[in-house]
Amino acid sequence: MKFAKRHLCDLSFCYAAASIQADGREKFLFATDDTGPCRCIDPETFETENVWDEPGGTMSIIPVPGTDGDFLASQNFLPGFSALHARIVRARRENGAWQVQPWLDMPYVHRFDILERDGVRYLLCCILSSTEMPQADMTCPGRLIAAELSDDFSAPAEFTVIADGMTKNHGYCRVERDGYTEAFTACDEGVFTAVPPEHRGGRWEVRKILDAHASDIAVCDIDGDGAEELAVIEPFHGSDFVVYHKTSDGYKEMYRYPEKMEFVHAAWGGMLRGEPVFLGGCRAVNKELFMLRWKNGKIQAETIETGYGPSNVAVLHGRNEDRILAANRESAEAALFMVYDD
């Protein structure tokens, strides 16, 4: 694969990266985890506009299904885990301008998502800590809470706790299954899967699949054997990027990134130019963005760039190229990588 980078804009503490479908085409979204803006970037003209100027503190950006570019995003989850006043807002573009309205107050919501099964949509919220203090007390474990969503996407009034006792409940990824969406979450107690009810009114299935002090998680069948591997950052905001292979006795370590790292944060797994890969990113030491792929019967690492310190990445697929959105927090940059076949 070949990578071509484009600097999209300067954005201090750039943390969240996502895309939406608006006006019949894709738009890029980047937001800061500190006080500051969320920006929408047109991938054809590269024009940039602010969706909001403040308050910032954005951990997650999730498109609202069936709308023309509406999205939900978290705010007020500020550095130092100051997130007692975290909330979810809804953004929509009306009459040529972005309108942002408070949607749901949700203290310490770090990740959240909209999942679907059997025609029912659910809001899943990953709560970092259950403390009532202004800054997170990590001795107060977090939880997973969920609620059914109405057709008009009004904010739920009641939630169900589907898992509790999750210390440093930080990592999240979603996987599309045949007919439903599955969530993977990561915390000090390990990696868990959360599957929505088979039918409306049923129970969520939450299951622990790996016993590890996990910070972030990605899923991909990197060796092509039909069973998904797990890429796990260990421990919390950790120093190791580890890949686990599924066996009859559970997941076993098959690879550990060999370079010295600190504050590993970005993890993504999936297809890139038709090939299964993991992407990882580190916010300290070499501040690299790297790719793992299966070559000659083993996992091999390739460095995409160093010195920029990505917090998160998102991948978009196209016919002639794929694109990586990189939220390079440590270099205050929103970046785009065009990925081409060799």
pLDDT for 131 = 93
pLDDT score of 220: 97
Range(s) of the domain holding residue 308: 212-342
Q: Which pLDDT score is estimated for 315? A: 98
pLDDT of residue 103: 98
Q: For residue 146, give the amino acid letter.
A: A
Q: What is the CATH number of the domain that holds 277?
A: 2.130.10.10
Residue 197 resides in a domain: no
Q: What is the DSSP string of 192-249?
A: EEEE--SSTT---EEEEEE-S--SEEEEE-TT-SSS-EEEEEETTTTSEEEEEEEETT
**Secondary structure of residue 42 in the 3-state scheme:** coil
Looking at residue 248, what is its pLDDT? 87
- Output the pLDDT for position 79: 94
Residue 154's contacts (CB-CB under 8 Å, 6 or more residues apart) are: none
The pLDDT, as a whole number, for residue 23 is: 86
Q: Which residue has the tokens 């484009």?
A: 6
Which tokens belong to 341? 């076949």
The residues facing 70 across adjacent strands are: none
What pLDDT score does 70 carry?
Answer: 97
Compute the Cα dihedral for 82, 90, 218, 164 and give only its sign. positive
Average pLDDT, consecutive stretches of 10 residues, N- to C-terminus, the chain (342 residues): 97 98 93 98 95 98 96 97 97 93 98 97 97 90 98 96 97 96 98 97 97 97 96 96 94 95 97 98 97 97 98 96 98 98 90
Between CA 229 and CA 298 the distance in angstroms is 13
Domain membership of residue 103 (yes or no) is: no
Integer angstrom CA distances of residue 117 from 59, 77, 112, 173, 200:
25, 29, 16, 17, 9
Residue 59 dihedral angles phi and psi, to the nearest 5°: -100, -35
What pLDDT sits at residue 253? 97
Strands 275-282 and 190-195: unpaired
Residue 207 lies in a domain: no
Other beta carbons within 10 angstroms of residue 212's beta carbon come to 22
The number of distinct structural domains making up the chain is 1
Query: Around Cβ 193, how many Cβ atoms within 10 Å?
Result: 17
Asked, for residue 298, whether it belongs to a domain, the answer is yes
